[in-house]
Structure 1
Amino acid sequence: MKNLGYYNGEYDLVENMKVPMNDRVCYFGDGVYDATYSKNHKIFALDEHIDRFYNSAGLLRIKIPYTKDELKELLKEMVKKVDDDEQFVYWQVTRGTGMRNHAFPSEDVKANLWIILKPLKIKDMSKKLKLITLEDTRFLHCNIKTLNLLPSVIAAQKTEEAGCQEAVFHRGDRVTECAHSNVSIIKDGILKTAPTDNLILPGIARAHLIKMCKRFEIPVNETAFTLKELMEADEVIVTSSGQFCMATSEIDGKPVGGKAPEIIKKLQEGLLNEFLEETN
């Protein structure tokens, strides 16, 4: 298949799949998701993504109708059905199906599992990003990877209209994260990245970046930083599952970064090699 959609045991090309109108995702966005990439039909960092997925579901009291091992085996089976050997691997669970009601459905209603797979390569890390900044108006549970993504949708549109690739959110003067990724800075040879509190999603790529810094003996400071620090950083790094370590050249039309290219190159090469080794 060229792509794949899956819903509660049935699968077909994504464009052929149909889901019930009463799936609670339609009314409330009542669910959580996670995503990563595969190469050679091997899924990268699957254990970490599954752990985060179950944690997000648990925080919303959604009972996933599979064990972690069962879900991992299902995802591994599904990626083999797509012809392309480099894929974007996405899955979500919704609270279930029932007539519209804000309160949870009865306990005998099972959660719904979705899987979407499509050919997609990881980003070329040799390219630099242009960013904009936006006030973070999301709710106070950003650590849960929910399906309620309207603020990110609006941010993505504003980013595109500005001719940029990503938006950096901030609450007052504190930088939180990007619309679809985490943001960190390098200053005086130290990586500074926001703490994993309720204002950011604990990114898997962010965690791998921290581990890679420690491998190369680059000091890491997990404390909040300001917009001023962002603009004055030696480097600004954007991380996500598809872009492990992307450097930034511009924010709000002003040049930034470019002062520690040797650190950027070392981290990019290390993270890419990690991905290639795990998916070989």
Structure 2
Amino acid sequence: MKTLGYYNGNYGPLEEMTVPMNDRACYFGDGVYEATLAKNGKIFALKEHLDRFFNSAGLLKIEIPYTREELTSILYDMLAKMDDSEIFIYWQVTRGTGIRQHQFPAAGTKANLWIFMKPGKHGDSSKRLKLTDMEDTRFLHCNIKTLNLLPNVMAAEKAESMGCGECVFHRGDVVTECAHSNVSIIKDGVFKTHPTDHYILPGITRMHLVQICKDNGIPVDETPFTMEELMDADEVIVSSSTKFCAPACEMNGTPIGGKAPELVKILQEKYLEKFENETK
């Protein structure tokens, strides 16, 4: 198949799939999700994505009706039905189906599993990104990969309308993350990135980049940094499961980064090497 959708055991071409109107995703965005890439029949960093998925669900008191092993089996069974060798994979779980009410549905209501797959490749990280910014007015549980993404949608649309590759969120002057990526900086040879507190999503790619730095003798500083520090950084790096390790060149039309390309190259090459090794 070219695209594939799944809902509670039923699957078919994504364009033909439907879901009940009373799924709590429709009224409340009451669920959590994950997304990653697959290549040559191998799902990249699946363990890490499942760890975050189950953690996010637990923080919202959603009981996933599958074990990690069962969910892994479902994902791989679906992947085997895809025609292309490089695939984008998305899955989410919602609290269940029930008449609209703010409190949880009746005890015993089973959570709903959604999955979709489509052709997808990682971005070209050799191209530097133009950035814009926006005040971060989201709620204070950004560490949960919730379906409630309207502020992220508005930020992403702002970036798109300005010809930018991402929008950087900040609370006051403190940088948090981007609309759908993490953002880190390099200054004086140090990789600096916001700590994994409740203000940011603990990005899988961010985690891998931190480990790559440690493995290659690049100091890591996991403390908050400001917009002023970002503008003055030697490099600004946007990272995600699809962007991988993408350096930036502009913030609202002002040149940024470009002063430590050798360090960026190390991170990009090591991350790509990890991806290729795990998806052989």
Q: Which of the five TM-score ranges fits, normalised by the shorter chain?
A: over 0.9
Matches within 5 A, 1:87-236: 87-236=87-236
Q: Distance in 1 between the 2:157 and 2:278 partners?
A: 34
Aligned residues: percent identity?
A: 66
Which amino acid is the alignment partner of residue 13 of structure 1? P
Match of 1:258 in 2: 258
The letter for the 1-side match of 2:184 is S
1:76 Cα offset (Å): 1.3
What CA distance in whole angstroms lies between the structure 1 residues aligned with 2:70 and 2:211? 28
Aligned length: 280
SS of 2:92's partner is: strand
- Partner of 2:159, secondary structure, is helix
Match of 1:50 in 2: 50
Aligned to 1:241: 241
Q: Hey, what's the Cα distance between the residues in 2 that align with 1:106 and 1:38?
A: 37
Deviations 1:184-206 (A, max 9, x none): 00000000000000000000000
8 Å Cα contact 1:56-1:144 kept in structure 2: yes
Deviation track 1:214-242 (CA, whole Å, cap 9, x = no partner) reads 11100000000000000000000000001
1:40-96 Cα distance to aligned partner (Å, 9 max, x none): 011000000000000000000000000111111111111111101101110000000
8 Å Cα contact 1:2/1:84 also seen in 2 = yes
Provide the secondary structure at the position in 2 that maps to 1:198: coil
SS in 1 for 2:114: strand
Structure 1 runs (4+) greater than 2 angstroms displaced: none
Q: Distance in 2 between matches of 1:107 and 1:262?
A: 56
Given that 1:209 and 1:244 are in contact with CA atoms closer than 8 Å, whether structure 2 keeps it comes out as no
Question: In the aligned structure 1, how far is the partner of 2:158 from the partner of 2:54?
Answer: 32
Question: CA separation in 1, counterparts of 2:51 and 2:116?
Answer: 19
Tell me, in whole angstroms, the C-alpha distance in 2 between the residues paired with 1:107 and 1:85: 42
Distance 1:221 1:241 in 2: 22
Could you tell me which runs of 5 or more consecutive residues in structure 2 were left unpaired when the two chains were aligned: none
Q: Does 1:2 align with 2:39?
A: no
Deviations, residues 150-188 of structure 1 (Å, cap 9, x unaligned): 001101111111110100000001000000000000000
Q: Structure 1: 5+ residue runs without aligned partners? A: none
Q: Tell me how far apart the structure 1 counterparts of residues 99 and 154 of structure 2 sit (CA, whole Å).
A: 29
State the AA in 1 paired with 2:162. Answer: A
